[in-house]
Chains A and B, each alone.
Chain A
Amino acid sequence: MNRIDQLFEKKKKRVLSIYFTAGFPNLEDTIPVMKAIENAGADIIEVGIPYSDPIADGPTIQDSNMIALNHGMSLKKLFGQLQDMRQTISLPVVLMGYLNPIIQYGMMAFCKKCKEIGIDGLILPDLPMQQYLDEYKGIFEQYGLRNIFLISPQTSEKRVIEIDQNTDGFIYMVSSHSITGAKTTISDEQISYFKRIEALQLKNPRLIGFGISDAETFNIASKYSNGAIIGSAFIKIIKESKDLETDIKAYIRSVIQ
């Protein structure tokens, strides 16, 4: 059984997914950061594939992408680093990346490799749903990969339901009109959007991401969904860290308390 499905079967509330960019802060930190995230008690690890033009990301994640690329990170290199990850990592692992590096690698070869090393799901923000259905759904399913779509406050109810039907794993609820890392507090308007989606009783679990940074925002997000995704705030922590293991543990503990 897919690890994402297993997770949500056991745990319905306060699921914490942590995003970081592969090869950041240093090229060989990918696996150590993943281990630290697991040891600290998070539930899902989201590994970002660095890209030169991440249009849905704010300055913090852009910067981490640039740094990782300057270190020489690439998709091939990443697969090399992750080759034996299942010897040490037991959490669900999701790869997040923009489409271009993946289609250069080849979608079929990419998905095959993901299965081989034990990846559970994919978040590809610039892969539109129709394109996924027309071209890639069969491949994803063949290799047991969950496809995680985004929705935003602007997504119509009809489309949310359509996305729910074509998603498995979980739905990534973008918390506001924004790129990553934009806001630090949660407004009433956002809460009414969370409630609106909650009322739709979707078949998929929902995690709220973008702008979640601490215990307070995590608690609010968790109240209206199955949990949350933290990216930029985590990147900031590891960027400045002199002791990844300790700082990651302290940060994640402070969020889930």
Chain B
Amino acid sequence: MIKVDEKGFYGKFGGAYIPEMLYPNIEELKENYEQLMASEEFQKEFRSLLKDYVGRPTPLYFATRLSEKYGAKIYLKREDLCHTGAHKVNNTVGQIILAKKLGKKRIIAETGAGQHGVATATVCALMGMECTVFMGALDIQRQRPNVERMKILGAKVVPATSGSQTLKDATNEAMRQWINNPVDTHYIIGSVVGPHPYPEMVARFQSVISEEIKWQLKEKEKTENPDIVIACVGGGSNAAGAFYHYYNIPQVRLVAAEAAGLGVSSGKSAATTALGTPGILHGSKTLLMQTEDGQVVEPHSISAGLDYPGIGPVHAHLFDTGRAEFVAVEDEDAMKAGIELSRLEGIIPAIETAHALHSLQMIEYKKEDIIVINLSGRGDKDLDTYIKWGGY
């Protein structure tokens, strides 16, 4: 069974390794989130915003030309059609309602690709809450349009200038900011990472993805269960959402695509399960890329959203137990897969998502297999990277 236990562990991974200064905040969340989420009032507001504001359900689209090319029945779960362009908003809508119910006045968030930052800035505008987003200085350069979107939405964007100046460092800064403002501030973490209860809470907000896949597939294929579900993994929130209702259905294969960067053994990679060992990062025990001395290694990926040295504890557990297959996709292959989808289906995917697409070339399947690929986001934010890469 893939299930979080009372202390926030998925098998060996998870927990809440946080400084005492954050203990009251984490306790407050832990004590309230399940009850709040279960309440009718919360569900009503959450469901109604997902429908009318985010645009859910997102289509489950049968990709004819992609299916022909790869010789399987391939469906795309169109999270790219969510308001703001990626799955990230499912989580921010949930957390902003929660923050409001907890009486918080201010919101902080970290962001890598800027998608989570935009999704957070968006719901803050919607609810009239003050919003500060921490973003690595390097990511600010490579995801310029998203930085401007956040500013247009009224958020303050603060560059994280320590370390590799990417997602890990932005997360450090957000945690520090939370320590400095523990009482009136809620930290909206953007993936299934961080101290318990964040990983499970975020997964539950994202689980709407697999909830929809089930009934949509039933309508189209007369079965709720595909043979394979594929998603990319940065921290792992879109994957957790796409896998959630299939965790405990063993005949559904789960495939997680990580970013290999310039190659798993190039020293410039973000393939956590291939390179990582158990350790503690951002408040949870998980697999992480580190030196023998326990210093966190700076990752590399062409995609800012996958450029993270760890993965959520649930994914460490899925890897550890063999429940999910992990593949590591290199920058170049991801870019080509992004162009391929653009040409075959008229959909320019986010570069994160393109990693999931390339894994079609790395796994085995049969002609009659039904494969669902979680199309986590659209490529608008990545135009600069596509242009610089130029191979089209």
Contact = CB atoms under 8 A, between A and B. Distances in A.
A179 B180 contact: yes
B179 interface: yes
A128 B16 contact: yes
B103 to A, nearest CB: 15
Contacts of B23: 128, 154-155, 159
A100 B280 contact: yes
A250 interface: no
Contacts of B293: 74-76, 101, 104-105
Contacts of A194: none
A56 B24 contact: no
Contact of A126 (B19, B163, B168, B292): B19
Contacts of B182: 152, 154, 177
B294 A126 contact: no
A100 B296 CA distance: 9
Nearest to A210: B21
A60 interface: no
B181 A177 contact: yes
A102 B280 CA distance: 10
Contacts of B283: 126
A104 B292 contact: yes
B81 interface: no
Interface in B1-51: 7, 15-21, 23-24
B280 A99 contact: yes
A128 B16 CA distance: 8
B179 A62 contact: no
A127 B279 CA distance: 13
B162 A66 contact: yes
Interface in B139-181: 162-163, 168, 172, 175-176, 179-181
Given A76-B293, A103-B279, A103-B280, A177 B183 contact: yes
B9 to A, nearest CB: 11
Interface in B304-359: none
A139 interface: no
Given A51-B295, A55-B175, A155-B24, A178 B163 contact: no
B290 interface: yes
Chain A, interface size category, equals 35 or more
Contacts of B282: 53, 55
A26 interface: no
Interface in A123-167: 125-131, 149-152, 154-156, 159, 163
Interface in A231-245: none
A155 B23 CA distance: 8
Given A53-B281, A128-B23, A177-B181, A104 B175 contact: no
Contacts of A130: 7
A182 interface: yes
A179 B176 contact: yes
Interface in B239-295: 277, 279-283, 290, 292-295
Chain A CB within 10 Å — which of B7, B183, B280, B282 has the most?
B280
Contact of A125 (B20, B181, B281, B292): B20
A74 to B, nearest CB: 4
Nearest to A78: B293
Contacts of A163: 20
The 7 closest A-B pairs by CB, nearest first: A101-B294, A104-B294, A74-B293, A150-B20, A52-B295, A152-B21, A125-B19
Interface of B: 7, 15-21, 23-24, 162-163, 168, 172, 175-176, 179-183, 277, 279-283, 290, 292-296
Given A53-B163, A101-B294, A105-B293, 18 more contacts: A52-B296, A53-B281, A55-B282, A56-B21, A56-B176, A56-B179, A69-B295, A74-B295, A75-B294, A100-B294, A100-B296, A102-B294, A104-B294, A125-B19, A128-B15, A129-B20, A150-B21, A178-B180
